[in-house]
Amino acid sequence: MTENLLFPLGFLIFGILLIVMTMASSFIARLPLSAAMLYLAVGIAIGPTGLELIQLDPLVDAHLLERLTEIAVLISLFTAGQKLGVPLQDRRWRIPVQLAFLSMMLTVAMLTAVGVWALQLPLGAAILFGAILAPTDPVLASDVQISKPSDRDRVRFGLTGEAGLNDGTAFPFVMLGLGLLALHDMGTAGWRWLAFDVIWAITGALILGYFLGTGVGRTILYLRTHHREAFGSDEFIALGLIALSYGAALLCHTYGFLAVFTAGLALRRIDPTPTLPKRPEPTSANLPVEAPAALMQEVQKFNTQLEHFAEVGIVLIVGAMLSTIEFRVEVLWFIPLFFLIIRPLAVYMGLVGIPMEGSQRRLIAWFGIRGIGSLYYLMYAITHGLELRLAQQMLSVTLCVVVASVIAHGISVTPLMKRYESSRAKRKAYRKKISS
């Protein structure tokens, strides 16, 4: 195919894909598959094994892929933070916090053990491998996350919060792995890693994201309620706050992912009535009351659209890259081990002490979706000098895990969540009947 045809054909296919997916979204929602599965298939078709519209070598084009996945994760993290309307003092917050810290550390530890003993990786590479695969994905997990601010379901809240938090809490392990591979300065006896990469980078990101999200949100609301300013620019608020918090976090040597998630969460806090489903358009009469709600609605709507757009692009690239990697036989046993043993063990042990139903624990354990975040961490390691042999091995396993997650979780999400929601509705109806 001539180069003159590639550009217009690429636009044609991308346009058809977006239109078809938009028109068929309600139909696809009823099927045992996800939109990501269809994007993946199209990506394979337009990759080197098909029409050759996308030709990316993950080792040669690591810098480009790092930036693309970085942008996708940032958008999704900010969106995840905005979805969490539960007050910070609510006990439900124990679920994502324990998942993002305890379950994360347990997952990294178990994956490190598998990396050393079964995959014959050096300790530093094994820790890095665990950190790459441990975070759940905020981009591909939208089907099991909170879809409306009034949702208080423990499963959806836990998975949304976990995906938002653990993309930041995984970074210390990435830096630890790189440090043990002599690709990052850890200081004498690891003091620099502990002081800066763990304590300061996490704490600083949380503080920075909170103050920027709160400050920007309250400033805009003040202009609207007192001076009738800043109307019609809600879409830029999301992009501006993402860029501001991420840039400031990087300049302060903290974790930008965590800062962006916290900024989205803080912006959500300025709405005093997050549980109301819909508010009227703000007028001169109701402006002080409705301005926070209107701001949240517009920003969240725009973020969701951006998130879907980023998902399309990145999953297409993943599909196209599949033909560029060497399939390794260890993925045949590693993927079942990871999905069916390591993730459930980490979840059950990490949620000790939290009152939850068995069905809720099982769903959280199963829907540990892996995706774009793992690809970002891998590209980050490659651009920071990861040895070629280790990079090829991790790339093969990571891409196979992401594809397996897209397929396995995409097939199971509709029937499992429908069954869960049906059972939940029946229990509510029964309790209502008993109480009446």
Written as one letter, the residue type at 67 is R
pLDDT for res 332: 94
Tell me, what's the pLDDT at 272? 53
Element of type H or E holding 109: helix 104-117
Residue 10 inside a domain? The answer is no
Return the CATH number at 319: 1.20.1530
Find how far residue 434's CA is from the centre of its chain. Answer: 40
For residue 48, tell me if it sits in a domain: no
What is the model's pLDDT at position 308? 83
In this prediction, residue 277 carries a pLDDT of 46
Identify the pLDDT of residue 379: 97
Look at residue 212 and tell me if it is in a domain: yes
For 271, residues 6+ apart whose C-beta sits below 8 A from its C-beta are 85, 149, 292, 293, 295, 296
Write phi, then psi, for 406 (nearest 5 degrees): -55, -45
Q: Tell me what percent of the chain is helix, strand and coil, each rounded to the nearest 5.
A: 75, 0, 25
The amino acid present at 70, given as its one-letter code, is E
Structural domain containing residue 321: 56-402
Per the CB < 8 A criterion, the answer to whether 107 and 130 are in contact is yes
The rounded distance, in Å, linking the Cα atoms of 317 and 414 is: 25
Which residues touch 239 (CB under 8 Å, ≥6 apart)? none
What was the pLDDT predicted at 274? 45
Q: Which tokens go with 366?
A: 């199963």
Residue 420 in domain: no
Q: Is residue 362 part of a domain?
A: yes
* String of DSSP letters for 407-434: HHHHHHHHHHHHHHHHHHHHHHHHHHHH
Residue 353 belongs to a domain: yes
Written as six digits, the tokens of 435 are 């109480």
Q: Is residue 421 part of a domain?
A: no
Write the CB contacts of 238 (distance below 8 Å, at least 6 apart in sequence): 78, 299, 302, 303, 306
pLDDT at 201: 96
- The tokens for 98 are 């324990």
Taking Cα atoms as reference points, which of 314, 327, 266 lies closest to residue 139? 314
DSSP H helical segments within 252-286, as ranges?
Answer: 256-269
Q: Provide the Cα torsion 148, 163, 365, 410; round to 10°.
A: 70
Q: Which amino acid is at 107?
A: T
State which amino acid sits at residue 93: W
List, for residues 182-202, the tens digit of each pLDDT value.
999 999 999 999 999 999 999
Residue 233 to residue 238: CA distance in whole angstroms: 9
What lies within 8 Å, CB to CB, of 290 at 6+ separation is 279, 280, 281, 282, 283
Domain count, the chain: 1
Task: Give the contacts of 188 (CB within 8 A, at least 6 positions apart).
Answer: none
Q: Which residues contact 433 (CB under 8 A, 6 or more apart)?
A: none
Give average pLDDT by consecutive 10-residue segment, the chain, 436 residues: 62 80 73 84 89 87 95 92 85 94 96 97 97 89 73 88 89 97 94 96 96 90 69 73 96 96 89 49 47 64 80 91 88 96 97 91 94 95 96 95 94 89 81 73
Residue pair 377/132 in contact by the 8 Å Cβ criterion: yes
The DSSP call for residue 353 is T
Q: Are 275 and 44 in contact (CB under 8 A)?
A: no
In this predicted structure, what is the pLDDT of residue 97? 95
Question: Token match 């045992």: residue?
Answer: 32
Establish if 422 belongs to a structural domain. Answer: no
